[in-house]
Structure 1
């Protein structure tokens, strides 16, 4: 990947398109937003694949991410709590719980930050 300096922030061209990154969200995605998004979407994508392999049909997965940052230490991300709202019919609570644990172990983005950012998960089943 190559990043080019802009008037504010940096940009890169990726196969899907141009990505603008800046410390001010008026000019692009903020770096912490991209990091949290990477962890949430990677976890959700792995979870989705696991559920498909287990033949557990879900209609939708909605992920909310609650982020705690430390202003005293360069505004670093201290913790991320991912909450999954999983909708479908007759979803087995225990299998969903085990699938989330398995997704945690297999999400490359989450595993990349495991010793520096506390990541926790919770979920609810929605009919």
Structure 2
């Protein structure tokens, strides 16, 4: 990837289009938003695949992310809590728990930051 400087940040061309990144939310995605998004969406995508492989039917998955930033340490992201709301009629709490454990081990974004960002998960089944 190549990022070119703009008046208010940087941009890159990706398959989907232009990605604009800036420290100012008026001009593009903020870097921490992209970091959190990549972890949440990677986890959600892997969970979707794991549930399908386990033959667990679901209707929808929503991932909420709560973050904690350390102001005295360059405002770094120190903690991310992912909460998965999984809609489905015949989901088992025990099997979803197992699926989340597999998800954690197989999400490349979680594995990339696991030694520097504390990532926790919880889930709720909505029938």
In the superposition, the TM-score normalised over structure 2's length comes to 0.99
Unaligned runs of 5+ in 1: none
In the superposition, the TM-score normalised over structure 1's length comes to 0.99
In 1, the alpha carbon distance for the partners of 2:101 and 2:82 equals 12
In 1, the alpha carbon distance for the partners of 2:17 and 2:71 equals 32
Length, aligned pairs only: 127
Task: Confirm or deny that 1:28 pairs with 2:28.
Answer: yes
Q: What does residue 81 of structure 1 align with? A: 81
Unaligned runs of 5+ in 2: none
RMSD: 0.4
In 2, the alpha carbon distance for the partners of 1:17 and 1:52 equals 30
Q: Structure 1 residue runs of 4+, over 2 Å off?
A: none
1:90, distance to aligned residue in structure 2 (A): 1.5
1:23 alignment partner, SS class: coil
Matches within 5 A, 1:1-127: 1-127=1-127
1:99 alignment partner, SS class: helix
